[in-house]
Amino acid sequence: MKTTTHSDTILIIDFGSQVTQLIARRIREAGVFCEIVPFQLAEDAFARIKPKAVILSGGPASTNDIGSPRAPQIIFESGIPVLGICYGQMALCVQMGGVAEASSHREFGRAFVEVQKDCPLFDGMWTTGQRHQVWMSHGDRVISLPKGFEVYAKSEGSPFAIFGDAARKMYGLMFHPEVVHTPDGARLLQNFVHKVAGIKGDWSMHAYREHAVEAIRSQVGSGKVICALSGGVDSSVAALLIHEAVGDQLTCILVDHGLMRKNEASDVVAMFNEHYNLPLIRVDAADRFIDALEGEVDPEKKRKTIGRLFIEVFEEEAEKLGGADFLAQGTLYPDVIESVSFTGGPSVTIKSHHNVGGLPERMNMKLVEPLRELFKDEVRVLGKELGLPDSFIGRHPFPGPGLAIRCPGGLSREKLEILREADAIYLDEIRKAGLYDAIWQAFAVLLPVQTVGVMGDGRTYEFVCALRAVTSIDGMTADFYPYDMEFLGRAATRIINEVKGINRVVYDVTSKPPGTIEWE
């Protein structure tokens, strides 16, 4: 992952924890920029970033395993502050000369630590003798501390739940401070950042904007840029930021691929024409995309086909414009995290439709991704900084594959139209109920299931429609929105009555933990 360089950056080394990105969120909330890198790339990243502090994440391995992950030794020799979390605590201990082993008293879930001694991590919050709730998730434990380290807190199963060397500014936590189940966890991380590492916490979106504009100008120079614009907050913010940097060197292209929501393409063009004087080309490519996708069942092949066709369209439009040197897109940090495998795990193909790894070699264009260091909520803050109206900033996310992945099973024009109408009614009811802004993302799904039903005096054999609505902040985790039954009844009744082809509606109440894909 290639990113720009910020002063006062914290490097987070990922050992494979499902909640590593939450560490980054807490650090950003403390007003400090940070970057996550897999442990395999940590040494190069350390040299490139020159961080002011390092955080070692949790992970599924045991330090007793042969070949288990380690942090680059240069980090411990550099003299900068280090914080180890869960597995990161074990790695810190072992690499500094201590001993860890498999524990007969594993701790998973809520636990309590008892403070043994004051330290900078506890400043303004914990004192000696107090007990505090934390969230544990470990099967190993430290049994012997490295030379110079001492115990600051213990738990029932971890005599060294918090240890550290104040002189060398190195600390280890057996629990996860980044999760909400550790109530004081965010403050512990803030104390590490501000009290231990001495970082002021003056990173702001205004500063990011200025930094990004200069980075874009440096990358683009006098080249021409085409921007993949969908009308969502990500691509809209990316377009405005690039336009601020290079002006008329930018041309936005909206590909109407026939997989968008009802009237979506026309609405996006109208919004941009009303608010901004950006060059915008609308390409009607619906037949091209749907013909290529018709009958396709495999969700991964759908995504790959859509990604390939997008590239082909952009190539053709660039040629019409006399060539382009760069393709811009609204890639976010979650896209980057979920599109690569940090530890060889299942995250390899979570978001395969994003070109985060680069463009095909045949293209004479390079990617411009000015938002790839930001989480979704940070992009919305940047949008406000750029003056985007609330109608842009608050739009629900709508991924590039669009309705194709919300129509599991074989794709057809008829099924797309059925889904488009049901989705439009669903969103209309959400807006009428005043719930749109309370929900992070809502959409309808046409299931590859048909059921027998009775409508009036006749039998029907039609599709089942699933409704989904989730709340989220960063786009990495989500929980279902708790509708009342009156709303669901009203929305379902309208869909069944008004959309020919659907005779049953269900509500999806699953959540999205880190690393979990959406409907496919």
CB 397 within 8 A of CB 237: no
Catalytic, out of 132, 176, 211, 353: 176
194 is catalytic: no
The DSSP secondary structure of 202-270, one letter per residue, reads ---HHHHHHHHHHHHHHHHTT--EEEE--SSHHHHHHHHHHHHHHGGGEEEEEEE-S-SPTTHHHHHHH
* Range list of H helices, 146-204: 185-191
Q: Which of 86, 119, 252, 465 is catalytic?
A: 86
CA distances to 65, 118, 208, 362, 495 from 130, in Å? 35, 11, 40, 63, 56
What span, in angstroms and rounded, lies between the C-alpha atoms of 183 and 133?
7
- Note if 176 is an active site residue: yes
Residue in 35, 178, 421, 518 annotated catalytic: 178
**Catalytic residue status for 214:** no
Q: By C-alpha distance, which of 39, 176, 172, 11 is closest to 93?
A: 172
Kindly write down the DSSP assignment for every residue of 447-462, as one continuous string: EEEEEEEEETTEEEEE
Ramachandran region, residue 410 (left: φ > 0; alpha: ψ -120 to 50; beta: rest): beta
Is 111 exposed, middle or buried, given 0-12, 13-18 or 19+ CB atoms closer than 10 A? Answer: buried
Instruction: Kindly list the distances between the CA atom of residue 268 and the CA atoms of 253, 278, 354, 383, in Å, as whole numbers in the listed order.
Output: 11, 13, 21, 16
Q: Which among 339, 337, 335, 356 is positioned nearest to 348, based on CA atoms?
A: 339
Task: Reduce the DSSP state of residue 280 to 3 states and report it.
Answer: strand
Contact by Cβ (8 Å): 58, 88: yes
Q: Cα dist. 32→11, 192, 208, 211 in Å? A: 11, 11, 11, 14
Report which of 138, 122, 153, 134 is spatially closest to residue 86, judged by C-alpha positions: 138
Active site (catalytic) residues? 86, 176, 178
